[in-house]
Amino acid sequence: MTKKEQSTILIVDDDTMCLNFLIHLLYGECTILIAKDGQTAIETAVKNSPDLIILDIDMPEMTGIEVLSTLRTFDTTKAIPTVFFTSNDNPESETACFNLGAVDYIKKSSGTDIVRMRILNQLYIVNNMQKS
């Protein structure tokens, strides 16, 4: 994939350590946008239409579930695949995420290689769907 064709991922997390972890993990694989809160995430997604969103559930002021629910109301963002990357292990939250159309739910306790592979698999799926 050339630089021009590089996918764009929006990473949304209020925890700087998690943001840095994901940026380091995905560096060179894609263009990375970041947001540290729900409102900024919505504005960034609407403005940039990323290929994939990685979203935490537990954030102050607006949860990731609320962010995804809001994104699903806009024509430009309603179909963007969203992966939840979270320490939340509540089965009801996981179900709510999938009910809103999340494509994956990755626990922050997962191994580094697993996190990277699952995110890159989603990018692979997105890229192949765009070619069809």
Q: Which residue has the tokens 């840095």?
A: 20
Rounded to 5°, angle at Cα 6 from 73 and 79: 15
CATH number for the segment(s) 13-131: 3.40.50.2300
Calculate mean pLDDT across residues 89-115: 94
pTM of the model: 0.93
Whether the per-residue pLDDT at 93 is higher than 90: the answer is: yes
Per-domain residue ranges of the chain = 13-131
What confidence tens digit (pLDDT) does each residue in 20-71 have? 999 999 999 999 999 999 999 999 999 999 999 999 999 999 999 999 999 9
Instruction: For residue 7, give the amino acid letter.
Output: S
User: Mean pLDDT of all residues in the chain?
Assistant: 92
Q: 6 vs 9, 32, 52, 86, 130, CA distance in Å?
A: 10, 10, 12, 25, 12
- Closest to 12 measured CA to CA, from 79, 82, 77, 69: 82
